[in-house]
Structure 1
Amino acid sequence: MTSPLPRQADHTETPAAVGFWQAFAFWLKLGFISFGGPAGQIAIMHQELVENRRWISERRFLHALNYCMVLPGPEAQQLATYIGWLMHRTAGGVAAGALFVLPSLLILILLSWLYIAFGDVPLIAGLFYGIKPAVTAIVLQASHRIGSRALKNGWLWAIAGASFTAIFALNLPFPLIVLGAAAIGYIGGRVAPDRFAVGGGHGKAAKGYGPALIDDHTPTPEHARFRWSRLARVAAAGALLWLIPMGALALLYGWDHTFAQMSWFFTKAAMLTFGGAYAVLPYVYQGAVSHFAWLTPTQMIDGLALGETTPGPLIMVVAFVAFVGAYAKAVLGPDALFLAGAMAACLVTWFTFLPSFLFILAGGPLVESTHGDIKFTAPLTAITAAVVGVILNLALFLGYHVLWPKGFGGTFEWMSALIALAAAVALLRYQVNVMKVIAASAVLGLAVKTLGWA
């Protein structure tokens, strides 16, 4: 990440047009630096695309984000896909979404192989020991960052507080929280529209960063206008992209083969990921561990740790699950263990993320037609407020598992707490960029493990 540019005082001109390959280079970079889960990833995109580069305005960014929040699937990856599509048509959306995932897939294939083939690697364990508390600090910073911009009045603060209580204390499912927030926003948009305007609050618009390439009042580009014929083409293409590989797996290996069963299982999981990966992890755990026995409970927990500390969406833990399952079961024979694992990881990644692309390419034109309509924006604004509460809950969840890995009855991890505190101070007080914090934390973790302090 680059350092933040000066604020609006020096941003008086619209940025120069961005070509496809210039955007491609950014999406590739983003794929390697997108640590911190959805909250951290969205914060990175906001800083880079809204504040630094001004490719899209705050309001258009939030409107797209709100839509992605209500979809099943990884919202940060879908947001990248949406902005890429808005800027450079279907090719831009596919490039942005794919590059958000591919670095993570390659890294996880390598780490999964090291994990299953060589067991506990001290170097990796030490690096992860430092990264995990840093990730907690990143999510906490993202909660503060997004909350400070989204919670502009008492109504939205109340929604965020109610959302946090609902998920933390009442353990209500995320889809129910989203529906409740949307209903409140719909009613609030009618009785107090100024309180639910995107970026609004106290009668003022959100703070700007200067003119953007896609600004508040930039007309919707031709390719982003809704047409029934285009929707039909996207739906047909999506159906073929699912049917052809699934049919090929069934014909080549049989429906009961591990490859086919993994692909079908994770297709179903992809449709259940409302609220991010944590909402669907119990389903994945039940299927992968209890039903199919692709891996053990301990391996599943280790996979989650890998997913939390590598770039990309947390749902990429499915690549670890698939790799370990296919490798351990030697589904292509004892001489092709790595190939089996890599193929399985690629297959489940395809079937997990295919719906995300279809939701954006099919639904994006509808969303673009509503960005100035309070009837549609008010529910989405309320959803964003609710998500702030959910992100805070995630920060506490991660903090608990990092500081008390064996529960409150176990030992408190003082060194992890110090690393988390240092990371939080660096992020919140000194605004050090995320990559530097992660790198420094990884080195600290390795030193702590090497010296035997943890």
Structure 2
Amino acid sequence: MSQPAYTLRQLIVYFLKLGTVGFGGPVALVGYMHRDLVEQRKWISEDEYREGLALAQLAPGPLAAQLSIYLGYVHYKIPGATLVGLAFVLPSFLMVLALGYFYVASGGIPWMQAVFYGIGAAVIGIIAMGSYKLVKKTVQKDWLYWGLFALSAVATFVTEKEILWLVLAAGIVVWLVKAPPKTFKTANSIFGLPVLLQAAGSVAVNGKIAQICWFFLKAGAFVFGSGLAIVPFLYGGVVKEYQWLNDQQFMDAVAVAMITPGPVVITVGFIGYLVAGFPGACVAALATFLPCYFFTVIPAPYFRKYGGNPGIKAFVDGVTVAAIGAIAGAVAVLAKRQLTDVTTVIIAIVTVLLLLRFKKLQEPFIILGAALLGLLIKTIYHQL
């Protein structure tokens, strides 16, 4: 392996910054990583990035966090994966802890909905641009790729969740078409793990902290995809099964995740704080992110070693195309939920136009402007 063009310290600093100012959720975050690390700095190759994206999509857990862990592993193995993963998650975790403290102290965050009104619309514009760039880079002019991309996008939009077996099927189709195998022995080793990862189980746990640990361990271990997939799972457990939070508190928790940078799944820290204070936040976050760490690091050597094999490369290409289709479908689902009136549609369109016109415009400035605009609009509305 050639000497990396960057130090581990530089990579950690980058992910600390991304975790601190990286708004937009998993779609935007994986787009930022591609733009910064592949296109601009050239620290990571296109193939390495695509391998990481494919592995992150195949394994359960938050997409952006898994990709960051894999990119840390590429040149610096276990230490790189561990330190980069921590650097990426820690800033947003500290932010949701602070918000959780003020939320509990004030009995709620009344201004949050006004802020989220503007931010939610701007985020749609940001992630739409990120999705467009991924499509342009990956799908290209291949009719098979376009078909699989469209199928995955439509399925995600209709079901409002990312379907693992559809992603796997796309990999198999491209594998069979682009690099037909001479034996199916390899297939069994490739596709056996996701079957095991979906195994469900239950244990009897007593005590609130133990319940938090077990529930969020399941959330990290058995939920595939991005924040779009994990939110319904969290709602079913936190609100319906355990009744730790009511509907409004849960929606506030989701809003906190969207108005803070870093992975959307960091909302688990906020939820954990509301349920059991600082220990609850730490246990919820650790239990959610630990499985995705192991599900990324353990298979990573095999992706690194065999990623150049034509059959595996074709499989990874198919998975990547379907993963990007799922991301595009998720953008449409989020747009349907967030763009609820003319004003939010205009904010989203203006965001896209600004990003097209000013290539170096930083997303946090757009987010700040949208937040202020949302507060202004809601204030004027209530005064009328």
Deviation at 1:120, TM superposition (A): 4.6
User: How much has 1:22 moved relative to structure 2?
Assistant: 2.3
> CA offsets per residue over residues 228-283 of structure 1, 9 Å max, x none?
xxxxxxxxxxxxxxxxxxxxxxxxxx952111110011111111221223223322
- Which consecutive unaligned segments of at least 5 residues does structure 2 have? 182-203
* Correspondence for 2:358 among 387, 405, 430: 430
**SS of corresponding position for 1:415:** helix
Counterparts of 2:376 and 2:314, CA distance in 1: 49
Q: Does 1:274 align with 2:224?
A: yes
Distance 1:325 1:172, change over 3 A: closer
Give the match for residue 146 of structure 2: 157
Query: How far apart, CA to CA, are the structure 2 residues paired with 1:302 and 1:359?
Result: 30
Equivalent residues of 1:77, 1:97 under 8 A apart: yes
Whole-Å separation in 1 of the counterparts to 2:227 and 2:154: 20
Higher helix share: 2
Pairs within 5 Å for 1:221-370: 255-326=205-276, 341-370=277-306
TM-score (norm 2): 0.87
Aligned letter for 1:264? Answer: W
Instruction: Render the CA deviation track for 1:15-71: whole Å, top value 9, x for unaligned.
Output: 984223222211211111222111100111111101121101112211221111111
Question: What is the aligned partner in structure 1 of residue 201 from structure 2?
Answer: none
SS, match of residue 306 in structure 2 = coil
* Structure 1 residue aligned with 2:197: none
Of residues 22-31 and 146-155 in structure 1, the stretch that sits farther from structure 2 once superposed is: 22-31
Q: Secondary structure at the match of 2:60?
A: coil
Structure 1's 165 and 23: CA in aligned 2 closer, same or farther, altered over 3 A? Answer: closer
Amino acid aligned to 2:30: I
Residues 453 and 437 of structure 1, relative CA distance in 2, 3 Å threshold: farther
Unaligned runs of 5+ in 1: 1-13, 193-253, 327-340, 405-412
Find the aligned partners of 1:191 and 1:15 in 2 and give their Cα distance. 34
Q: Deviations over 1:358-402 (max 9, x none)?
A: 122211111101221121111221122112222222112222222
Indicate the residue corresponding to 1:64 in structure 2: 52
Q: Give the RMSD, CA atoms, in angstroms.
A: 2.3
Alignment of 1:15-414 (within 5 A): 17-152=5-140, 153-169=142-158, 174-190=163-179, 255-326=205-276, 341-404=277-340, 413-414=341-342
Take 1:281 and 1:295, find their aligned partners in 2: how far apart are those partners? 14
Task: Give the CA deviation at 1:160.
Answer: 0.7
Distance 2:78 2:211 in 1: 30
Counterpart of 1:423 in structure 2: which amino acid?
A: T
Task: Give the distance between the partners of 2:81 and 2:172, measured in 1 at CA.
Answer: 30
**Structure exhibiting the larger radius of gyration computed from Cα positions:** 1
* Greater mean alpha carbon deviation, residues 167-176 or residues 137-146: 167-176
Percent of aligned pairs with the same amino acid: 31
Task: Report if aligned partners of 2:55, 2:296 keep a CA contact under 8 Å in 1.
Answer: no
Aligned length: 358
In 1: Cα distance, 2:213 partner to 2:122 partner: 33
Aligned-pair distance for 1:113? 2.4
Provide the rounded CA distance (Å) in 1 between the counterparts of 2:4 and 2:269: 39
1-structure distance, mates of 2:31, 2:132: 10
SS in 1 for 2:179: helix
Rate the CA distance shift 1:179–1:20 in 2: closer, same or farther, 3 A. Answer: closer
2:193 is matched with which residue? none
Kindly indicate whether the alpha-carbon contact (under 8 Å) linking 2:61 and 2:220 is maintained by their aligned counterparts in 1.
Answer: yes
Give the SS at the match of 1:271. Answer: helix
Distance 2:284 2:50 in 1: 30
Q: Is the 8 A contact 1:27 1:95 kept in 2?
A: no
State the TM-score, normalizing by the size of structure 1: 0.74
- Structure 1 residues 91 and 15: CA distance shift in structure 2, 3 A: closer
- Asked whether the equivalents of residues 25 and 262 of structure 2 are also in contact (C-alpha less than 8 Å), the reply is yes
Q: Give the stretch that moved more between structures: 35-44 or 105-114.
A: 105-114
In the TM superposition, residue 414 of structure 1 has moved relative to its aligned partner by 2.6
Q: Secondary structure at the match of 2:222?
A: coil
Q: Is the 8 A contact 1:136 1:395 kept in 2?
A: yes
